[in-house]
């Protein structure tokens, strides 16, 4: 009896794993249909929601059944639906919205790449280039402007969750200049410059990304006179001298490329300059499932990875930096403080 039960739960457990694309697709469909915005503070029936988003009533009820099973929306005893914390976080107007992050994690082009994960594991390399003819970032910025915009917004939404904590911790004492390397749209840089009115900053990222920087940093923006936008490839060169360099979530490349990025910055830096790495450790974070999903996605798309704590410290040391301190920023990020030796 107990062995029959365990076979049953084993089969249903494995089936749930094998069908987990339905979960990702349900969350994406909720966003693309506009369901989180269609439901306000008052409960609404499935039929009312179907009318509001222009969907088939029976099919929307089925989608809601799937979503509520994951805690995205809840069904009341009356049969009406209400928001949960998860469904509210999908609304564009939520203060901690992760709408674009969810879209980014479920972009349609990604689905076919997942089918080639075995190839990535066999070769240890990305599969994007073979599928699309060019490496990911090149293709993203030339062929998929909408996807590029979703990526930049997703990174900004993710960073909004930690920008204040990073600004609180960043060792800025005596610093006159800060460079946000691969800083995306520059949310952390903007936060830092608002806090430190005497500090000047540089935002380095790919040309398409800095062109769409945080409006505070762009010409005419409130902080623009203290900011230099530096479009370029940090794997080629980092030609900015600063007292503090921030590398937040840009060392998700392989170890050699990570060392190269740090060394490129060191070429321009003075001895004593602070180089601050903010990253997720794959072996010390909010959960193995989330960390390893991100890690595999990076392998698949850019041949990159989420590093272990020891791996990242090794990268900093291989680059020639002196590691001073490692501290948690929040439940998923760590800050590694290093300096350029004299
Ligand atoms: C994961 S995002 C992190 C963005 C930002 N630091 C944050 O935490 O919100 C990685 C960033 O690195 C940038 N990037 C990737 N490869 C780059 C390269 N070769 N040169 C310059 N920037 C690059 C991307 O455009 C993106 O903005």
The model's pLDDT over 262-290, given as tens digits with 9 standing for 90+, comes to 999 999 999 999 999 999 998 877 677 88
Q: How confident is the model at residue 3 (pLDDT cuts 50, 70, 90)?
A: low
**SS in 3 state form for 198-257?**
CCEEEEEECHHHHCCCCCCCCCCCCCHHHEEEEECCCCCCCCCCCCEEEEECCCCCCHHH
pTM value surpassing 0.85: yes
The fold adopted by the segment(s) 162-339 is Rossmann fold (3.40.50)
Q: How confident is the model at residue 331 (pLDDT cuts 50, 70, 90)?
A: confident
The domain ranges of the chain are 2-97, 108-151, 162-339
The fold adopted by the segment(s) 2-97 is Arc Repressor Mutant, subunit A (1.10.10)
For residue 257, how far is its CA from the centre of ligand 1 (angstroms)?
13
> What is the SS3 assignment for 173?
coil
* Among 139, 225, 135, 233, residue whose Cα is nearest residue 182: 233
Beta carbon of 234 within 6 Å of any ligand 1 atom? yes
Predicted pLDDT at 16: 93
Residue of 182, 202, 251, 280 best suited for mutating to test ligand 1, as the one with most atoms within 8 Å of CB: 182
Beta carbon of 184 within 6 Å of any ligand 1 atom? yes
What residue owns the CA closest to ligand 1's atom 11?
A: 182
Q: What is the mean pLDDT of the chain?
A: 95
For residue 184, how far is its CA from the centre of ligand 1 (angstroms)?
5
Residue of 138, 153, 155 best suited for mutating to test ligand 1, as the one with most atoms within 8 Å of CB: 155
Phi/psi of residue 211, nearest 5 degrees: -65, -25
Across the range 311-320, mean pLDDT stands at 97
For residue 183, how far is its CA from the centre of ligand 1 (angstroms)?
6
For residues 294 and 300, is the Cβ–Cβ distance under 8 A?
no
């Amino acid at each position: 009896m107990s062995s029959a039960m365990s076979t049953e739960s084993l089969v249903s457990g494995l089936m749930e794993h094998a069908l987990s694309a339905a979960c990702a697709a349900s969350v994406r469909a909720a966003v693309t249909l506009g369901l989180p915005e269609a439901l306000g503070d008052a409960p609404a029936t499935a039929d009312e929601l179907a009318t509001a988003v222009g969907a088939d009533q029976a099919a929307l009820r089925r989608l809601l059944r799937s979503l509520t099973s994951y805690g995205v929306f809840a069904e009341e005893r009356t049969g009406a639906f209400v928001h949960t914390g998860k469904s509210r976080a999908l609304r564009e107007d939520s203060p901690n919205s992760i709408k674009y992050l969810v879209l980014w994690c479920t972009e349609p082009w990604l689905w076919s790449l997942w089918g080639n994960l075995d190839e990535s594991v066999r070769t240890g390399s990305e599969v994007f280039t073979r599928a699309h003819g060019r490496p990911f970032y090149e293709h993203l910025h030339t062929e998929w402007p909408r996807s590029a915009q979703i990526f930049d917004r997703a990174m900004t939404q993710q960073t909004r969750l930690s920008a204040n904590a990073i600004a609180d911790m960043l060792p800025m004492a005596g610093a006159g200049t800060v460079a946000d390397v691969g800083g995306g749209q520059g949310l952390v840089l903007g936060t830092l410059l608002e806090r430190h009115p005497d500090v000047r900053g540089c935002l380095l990222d790919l040309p398409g990304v800095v062109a769409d920087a945080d409006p505070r940093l762009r010409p005419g923006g409130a902080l623009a006179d203290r900011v230099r936008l530096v479009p370029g490839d940090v794997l080629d060169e980092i030609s900015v001298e600063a007292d503090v360099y921030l590398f937040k979530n840009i060392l998700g490349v392989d170890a050699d490329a990570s060392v190269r990025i740090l060394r490129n910055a060191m070429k321009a830096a003075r001895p004593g300059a602070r180089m601050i790495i903010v990253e997720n450790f794959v072996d010390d974070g909010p959960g193995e499932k989330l960390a390893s999903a991100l890690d595999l996605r990076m392998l698949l798309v850019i041949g990159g990875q989420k590093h272990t704590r020891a791996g990242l410290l090794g990268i900093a040391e291989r680059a020639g930096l002196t590691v001073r301190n490692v501290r948690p920023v929040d439940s998923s990020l760590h800050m590694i403080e290093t300096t350029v030796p004299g």
